[in-house]
Amino acid sequence: MFFVKSHSLLYNARMFSFNPKLGIDLGTTTVLVYVPGKGIVLNEPSVVAVSTTENRILAVGNDAKEMVGRTPDEIKAYRPMKDGVIADYRVTEAMLRYFIRKALGPWNMFKPEVMISVPAGVSSTERRAVVEAATKAGARAAYVIKEPILAAIGAGIPIYEARGHMIVDIGGGTTDVAVISLGGIVASKSVKCAGNKIDHAIADHVKKTMNLAIGEKMAEEIKIKVGSAVPMDQELVMTVKGRDYVTGLPRSAEITTNEVVRAIGRELRMMVSAIKDVLQETPPELASDIIDNGIIMTGGSSQLRNFPELIFRRTGVIAHLAKDAPQCVAKGTGEALNHIDMYKKAVIAKR
């Protein structure tokens, strides 16, 4: 009898105390889900495969990415997020529902509290769309915070100090630059030029110089394996495989690091220009803090070889790559959820 009673008390305590929380880094190319106490439980591409004839979703995440560029006419595999914001509302909602269910597990009966990241330059309409998509996808409450704040929290920066910290978050769709002090953004800029634009520039370069058509995956592989932000004395070489524009037959060619540097020069200039613009808007006292602390770089695309070196050459300020740079925003969402009262000033939308 005692065992039954104590067991039911324990069950009831669990029932009433269990309040699932999820932090979601809703990126243009990747979705990361952070569960406080567990860490990052899910890291999948933000790709959805849709059957156009039946108007239903066939696959999400890793399964859908495998289909990109390999589907018949009646199946479309694409990213419902564009430049960090929702481009296809219905598909984004379905994608969020899938990721929330997968992160919580099949036996979860409770609606989670969700914290989602958005680019610094997002409009109020775009923010509302993210909050609504999350609540319709099964969230009990949804909060939205700007990516630079979350990236700074995830990188371990004490954002509530009266000191200036500069964060550069480079993802797939946007580059967010911000100077943070006393828990708020003092100066910021968001440009729609990041990893995806670099991939497109590489594909265009291969098309113009080698007469070779390559896919999205191959362009990304070139960026990761031989790409660099500055020319290198000892170049890396990679074999590129694609379809010849003249003969229409499969062909391979070689590409070197310095060729990639030339190909992506325009995109890198746009990103560095955004950093310079924010530095010019920064008050002098905070500018001196930034010289002392350096620029902190986060996001997947900040891992491009020698990127901190390029920023130092162009701005004169030392740049550091944050530890676990691609995961900083996701970690920040989890930290902000755990201490929602402390970070409530940074919340820009909730429901």
When pLDDT is cut at 50, 70 and 90, the band that residue 2 belongs to is very low
Share of the chain above pLDDT 70, in %: 94
Q: What is the DSSP string of 59-83?
A: EETHHHHTTTT---TTEEEE-SEET
pTM of the model: 0.87
Alpha carbon distance 267, 254 (integer Å): 22
What is the average pLDDT value for the chain, to the nearest integer? Answer: 88
Model confidence at 273: pLDDT above 80: yes
Q: How far from each other are the two terminal CA atoms of the chain, in whole angstroms?
A: 44
Domain 158-322 falls under CATH 3.30.420.40: yes
Mean pLDDT, rounded, for 40-44: 91
C-alpha 267, offset from chain centre: 18
Q: Is 3 helix (H, G, I), strand (E, B) or coil?
A: helix
Mean pLDDT, rounded, for 60-73: 84
Model confidence at 20: pLDDT above 80: yes
pLDDT tens by residue, 308-329: 999 999 999 999 999 999 999 9
Model confidence at 275: pLDDT above 90: yes
Order the strands of the 347-350 sheet from edge to edge.
39-45, 30-35, 21-26, 113-118, 141-146, 347-350
pLDDT tens by residue, 83-122: 878 888 888 998 999 999 998 887 778 889 899 998 888 8
Mean pLDDT, rounded, for 19-44: 90
pLDDT tens by residue, 161-180: 899 999 999 999 999 999 99
Least confident range of 30-44, 217-231, 282-296: 30-44
Model confidence at 334: pLDDT above 90: no
Mean pLDDT, rounded, for 133-144: 89
pLDDT of residue 258: 96
Here the tokens at position 61 are: 């995440």
Torsion angle of the four alpha carbons 232, 198, 193, 124, in this order, in degrees rounded to the nearest 10: -140
pLDDT tens by residue, 186-245: 999 999 999 999 999 999 999 999 999 998 889 999 999 999 999 999 999 999 999 999
Contacts of 207 (CB under 8 A, 6+ apart): 213, 214, 245
Residue with tokens 């995956």: 217
Counting beta carbons within 10 angstroms of the beta carbon of residue 284, is it exposed (0 to 12), middle (13 to 18) or buried (19 or more)? exposed
Share of the chain above pLDDT 90, in %: 57
The reply to whether 18-149+330-350 and 158-322 are identical in fold is yes
When pLDDT is cut at 50, 70 and 90, the band that residue 6 belongs to is very low
Q: Cβ(210)–Cβ(246) under 8 Å?
A: no
Alpha carbon distance 292, 127 (integer Å): 34
Model confidence at 295: pLDDT above 60: yes
Q: Cβ(78)–Cβ(94) under 8 Å?
A: no
Model confidence at 255: pLDDT above 70: yes
Domain ranges of the chain: 18-149+330-350, 158-322
Alpha carbon distance 329, 327 (integer Å): 6
Here the tokens at position 308 are: 């901190």
Q: Cβ(236)–Cβ(226) under 8 Å?
A: yes
Alpha carbon distance 97, 137 (integer Å): 4
Model confidence at 69: pLDDT above 80: no
Model confidence at 266: pLDDT above 90: yes
pLDDT of residue 200: 96
Q: Is 26 helix (H, G, I), strand (E, B) or coil?
A: strand
Pick the closest to residue 336 from 351, 326, 324, 348 (CA basis): 348
Return the CATH number of the domain spanning residue range 18-149+330-350.
3.30.420.40
pLDDT tens by residue, 52-66: 888 888 889 888 888
pLDDT of residue 152: 94
